[in-house]
Structure 1
């Protein structure tokens, strides 16, 4: 089913979007898109199982279970159960737990953290659903969220201080849960309305708050709730994207000329699932260009960090606002994972930006802070005013004490639409992250279940593989809260 702009012009965009989600079938989704969606879910599984072991995740687990108590929904990687909404909240928090999960480069949100927890909880609530139905619902979520985000000009929301993913993410979760529940277009419209009224997220959480890692979980839970309420006949805001007073775009886009047409642009023809970026570094997506540039310079010129007198980073407005502030010693791990200077310093020193770069010892290391003292981050208007595909472009210039200057420009980092992480790389990432935590048989079984989702009779088979406790390589005592 393809949505034509003429339909959106005559009816607004909310109803056509709901009709598209209702009518979406597995047969309408190209095989390459279904395969990519399954691989994105595998990446989310890897991030979630690792994230479940982290100390702030354990604080979240204790706190949420103290509020919610036991239930029938699995909290992955723990052996625990709780209510459906609480499981969605925690499982999303785990996936977002260490800045390893996917993000959309033009409409920034972390899609799998919104989709996978909702799939698992909805399947449990309904007494099972087929893997094929789950994969179709996942694609609905992968497609809806970025389009809502682009209507608000995507990364502009980050520049304004919103945590964009939780703002767009409620609709991602509502679309996924609503599709898996078999809601008709009218009920989906209700779900979108209730999702929109629960959208929120403040980006100041990035400096030190554990809750930064839970904010997509709030959105996932709220979208899951919205679909459940709609399924029960509870009505939500109609035409939520179209209302001029109090509507979603009118409020979140006030003074910024939102473009409602983006919500249905290309539905059924172009696929945002294929644009989603898979991370290769444990840092926010806007830092990946800087990290890649530094690593390439390090490899090409064997730069001695002790000789660096200036490390200049030039980025556009969104990355500048979201990724730079003068850090104070020591940073929290979440602050370090958001900070351009810290990411550049450890990339040059260590040759990687992964969990070992965010231990307590590394966050307060003298060599890191000496190099941080040479960092200068500049807002580059040419990058900011360039083509949208280059808004995450980065220029890094390293000057050494003998006057040597080394420069590298990254138009799009590896993982972006121009140079996507391959499916084979996603599998390798899964096995590298989760392999040390699980017996080989369980590792293989999870991979087979996710990548064979089209053929899985009941999604609860995957839940059974994900639910038991895991543990091993990542020592939580070495990671600060």
Structure 2
């Protein structure tokens, strides 16, 4: 039998594994746990609104042939735990409304939350405090691995960054609920890391499930480690075959991020909660377009030319060519499309991405008059310059978009977003019951079980 201590307790992997095993919910600062509850609420809002979207229906019908032990949210249906995790993750990612990070980058809820729901259902008697602790520690693990790997560099090379490094975060979250020892956490992290993969797929339906693959891999890693299955040791400091060595090749990975200021610096507070249903790197341009529109200085119908500047690091991710007709997933990733929609409608939400809206002439007139250039700023910066038919120009630059670290949505705004989203698909009583439970999660010993009961019944179609 393996011991309880990691193979190198003083190395980055060993220190992280020990921290995961030994950190209590009481060690988490109040402001972090409060934000974590609101992050979970945002994820659940995205989960429910995404459950019955067309691509979600295809996934459910393709994968849930046999019932299983885990809830498929919003479907009154069950599946095996790995399948339920993939589906629930794809619902959270289903309409580009879920949390994101400009610095790391990843969609944390889509990786961590489905694993917690599955393990809580499998184990039973998981308390709300344990669930909250697992959310925070899983998040912190994924964030640190993403930083060590220099996540934005992955994007420039065509990797879907969160799908690559989300697995260790998911494994950590699941491992907390399984009560793993430091040695078993080392195994879980190694098993998750060895499954890492994910290619960028801007225009493809599978983009909705990329983080789900990472979540599934993390779940499997936690389950195997809990059962005594061994993983690669010292996964974050190994040379040949090491996680950072392989996936960080060519862009200088830094293993110090794995264990630096553990328990002192909490990255969860820095996660962006999205105000728009679009890929995060398009938000600076959306904000700039909305600022121009709000200033009453522009008439979209009289716009002759739109020039958008995005960071060089995300140019390929946002400025790829688009053509009519277009699917919603490509539209949500395209800075051309969402900027045009924002100028015309004053927001980018579900309504701007309905099939009939995606094919409207007014949007495509603006799209066809748009050019995108590379800027030298960060991924959270952007600029929109409009030229009208009389030759007058109007310009706005965004230094930090709404929802980002510099301009975060406050807790009340997150609750409002949850209510707006879920009001489309569930009745008010169920909506408020979920909200009250999540925002007081650590006060409920049976909170996760009650939450699963509330998530299980069928929901409406957000696009109806």
TM over 0.5: yes
**Residue number in structure 2 paired with 1:315:** 310
1:409 matched to 2:409? The reply is: no
Once the two structures are superposed, what CA deviation does each residue of 1:141-199 show, in whole Å capped at 9, x if it has no partner?
A: 11111111111212111111100011110011001000111101100000000100111
Counterparts of residues 298-447 of structure 1 (less than 5 Å): 298-381=293-376, 383=377, 390-447=378-435
Distance in 1 (alpha carbons) for counterparts of 2:273 and 2:337: 21
- Give the structure-1-normalised TM-score: 0.93
Q: Does structure 1 retain, via aligned residues, the 8 Å contact 2:50–2:462?
A: no
Distance in 1 (alpha carbons) for counterparts of 2:302 and 2:461: 38
1:242 matched to 2:231? The reply is: no
**Residue number in structure 1 paired with 2:457:** 468
Counterparts of residues 53-452 of structure 1 (less than 5 Å): 53-66=52-65, 69-203=66-200, 205-207=201-203, 209-381=204-376, 383=377, 390-452=378-440
1:453 matched to 2:441? The reply is: yes
Give SS of 1:310's match. Answer: strand
Give SS of 1:16's match. Answer: helix
After the TM superposition, list the runs of 4 or more consecutive aligned residues in structure 1 that deviate by more than 3 angstroms.
none
Q: Does structure 1 retain, via aligned residues, the 8 Å contact 2:310–2:374?
A: yes
CA drift of 1:405 comes to: 1.1
Distance in 1 (alpha carbons) for counterparts of 2:180 and 2:461: 41
> Which range is displaced more, 51-60 or 258-267?
258-267
**Residue number in structure 1 paired with 2:18:** 19
CA drift of 1:392 comes to: 1.7
Distance in 1 (alpha carbons) for counterparts of 2:313 and 2:438: 34
CA drift of 1:43 comes to: 0.3
Count of residue pairs brought into register by the alignment: 458
CA drift of 1:319 comes to: 2.2
**Residue number in structure 1 paired with 2:35:** 36
Q: Does structure 1 retain, via aligned residues, the 8 Å contact 2:52–2:461?
A: no
Once the two structures are superposed, what CA deviation does each residue of 1:381-428 show, in whole Å capped at 9, x if it has no partner?
A: 3x1xxxxxx432101111111121111111110111111011100100
Q: Does structure 2 retain, via aligned residues, the 8 Å contact 1:111–1:169?
A: yes
Distance in 1 (alpha carbons) for counterparts of 2:181 and 2:217: 19
CA drift of 1:326 comes to: 2.0
Distance in 2 (alpha carbons) for counterparts of 1:470 and 1:361: 23
Distance in 2 (alpha carbons) for counterparts of 1:159 and 1:456: 43
Distance in 2 (alpha carbons) for counterparts of 1:427 and 1:346: 25
- Give the structure-2-normalised TM-score: 0.96
Q: Does structure 2 retain, via aligned residues, the 8 Å contact 1:159–1:317?
A: no
1:472–1:60 distance in 2 versus 1, CA, 3 Å: closer
- RMSD of aligned Cα (Å): 1.5
Distance in 2 (alpha carbons) for counterparts of 1:129 and 1:431: 26
CA drift of 1:10 comes to: 8.6
Q: Does structure 2 retain, via aligned residues, the 8 Å contact 1:314–1:394?
A: yes
Q: Which residues of structure 2 form unaligned runs of 5+?
A: 1-7
Distance in 1 (alpha carbons) for counterparts of 2:12 and 2:462: 48
Give SS of 2:384's match. Answer: strand
CA drift of 1:373 comes to: 1.4
CA drift of 1:434 comes to: 0.5
